[in-house]
């Protein structure tokens, strides 16, 4: 038991963990550009003393609004695409529906093979 506990502790320290929605598969180059512009406008605004009005404030506000609007649109389109894919699979074959559902929405925790083998011994 001490060996297994040691291996589990080592795995927690050495193996990176992430939530199932950590990787943004819907992220695209346009969003990256808008985020960069928003960050740059924010830096300019901050370097200018955080004005609450004027051209610099309006540039920051517009850049942030454009980025948030694009994020909302991409998320909305992605949700519709996932819903359509799932609906089509459900109509065709309920088994493929659950395969796609699990692939898109379930978090699978992969246990390293060596830990699994030792736990079985």
d(CA 96, CA 102) in angstroms, rounded, equals 10
pLDDT of residue 117: 47
pLDDT of residue 108: 58
pLDDT of residue 14: 75
Phi-psi region of 13 (alpha: psi -120 to 50; beta: other; left: phi over 0): alpha
Contact residues for 38 (Cβ-Cβ < 8 A; gap 6+): 60, 63, 64, 66, 67
pLDDT of residue 19: 63
pLDDT of residue 82: 65
Going residue by residue through the chain, which has 121 residues, state the pLDDT in tens, using 9 for 90 and above: 788 888 888 877 777 676 655 667 778 899 999 999 999 999 999 999 999 999 999 999 999 999 999 999 998 887 777 667 667 766 777 667 677 667 766 665 565 555 444 555 5
d(CA 26, CA 70) in angstroms, rounded, equals 12
**CA distance between the termini of the chain:** 10
Hunting for tokens 């994020």 — which residue is that?
71
pLDDT of residue 28: 86
d(CA 80, CA 87) in angstroms, rounded, equals 10
pLDDT of residue 35: 95
């Amino acid at each position: 038991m001490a060996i297994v506990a040691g291996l589990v502790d080592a795995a927690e320290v050495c193996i990176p963990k992430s939530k199932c929605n950590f990787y943004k598969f819907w992220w695209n180059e346009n969003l990256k550009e808008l985020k960069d512009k928003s960050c740059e406008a924010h830096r300019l605004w901050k370097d200018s003393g955080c004005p609450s009005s004027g051209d610099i404030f309006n540039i920051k506000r517009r850049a942030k609004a454009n980025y948030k609007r694009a994020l909302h649109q991409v998320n909305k389109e992605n949700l519709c695409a996932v819903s359509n894919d799932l609906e089509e699979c459900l109509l065709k074959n309920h088994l493929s529906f659950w395969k796609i559902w699990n692939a898109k929405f379930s978090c699978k925790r992969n246990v390293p093979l060596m830990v699994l083998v030792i736990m079985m011994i």
